[in-house]
Structure 1
Amino acid sequence: MLDRLKAFLAGQTDAQDALAGTGDKVQLATVALLVEAAQMDAEFGAEERAKIIELVEGRFGLSAAESRELLQVASEKVEQAVEVFGFTREIKNAFSPEERIEMMEMLWEVAYADRVLHNLEASLMRRLAGLLHVSDRDSGLARKRVLVRLGLED
Structure 2
Amino acid sequence: MFDRVLSFFRDLPAGMTGAGTLHADDPRVAATALLYHVMNADGVRQDAEWERLKDVLSQAYGASGTELDALVTAGEKAEREAIDLYAFTSVLMRRLDEPARVEFIRLMWEIVYADGEVHELEDNIIWRVAELLGVARHDRIAMRRQVAGAKTGDASDEQV
The normalised TM-score by structure 1 is 0.81
In 1, Cα distance between the equivalents of 2:101 and 2:124?
18
In 2, Cα distance between the equivalents of 1:29 and 1:148?
28
What one-letter code is carried by the residue in structure 2 that aligns with 1:58?
A: Q
Report how far residue 5 of structure 1 moved. Answer: 4.0
The number of residue pairs the alignment matches comes to 138
Matching residue of 2:76: 75
Give the alignment's Cα RMSD to 1 decimal.
1.8
The 3 A distance-change label for structure 1 pair 42 and 152 is farther
Matching residue of 1:34: 35
Give the unaligned 5+ runs of structure 1: 10-18, 20-24
**Counterparts of residues 1-154 of structure 1 (less than 5 Å):** 1-5=17-21, 8=23, 25-59=26-60, 61-65=61-65, 66-153=67-154
Q: Please list the CA deviations of residues 77-124 of structure 1 after superposition, one character each: whole Å capped at 9, or x if unmatched.
A: 111111110100011110110000110000011111211100111111
Report how far residue 27 of structure 1 moved. Answer: 0.3
In 2, Cα distance between the equivalents of 1:102 and 1:58?
15
Which one is further off, 65-74 or 85-94? Answer: 65-74
What one-letter code is carried by the residue in structure 1 that aligns with 2:151?
A: L
In 1, Cα distance between the equivalents of 2:121 and 2:112?
10
The normalised TM-score by structure 2 is 0.79
Asked if the contact 1:5–1:73 (Cα under 8 Å) also holds between the matched residues in 2, the reply is no
Give the unaligned 5+ runs of structure 2: 1-16, 156-160
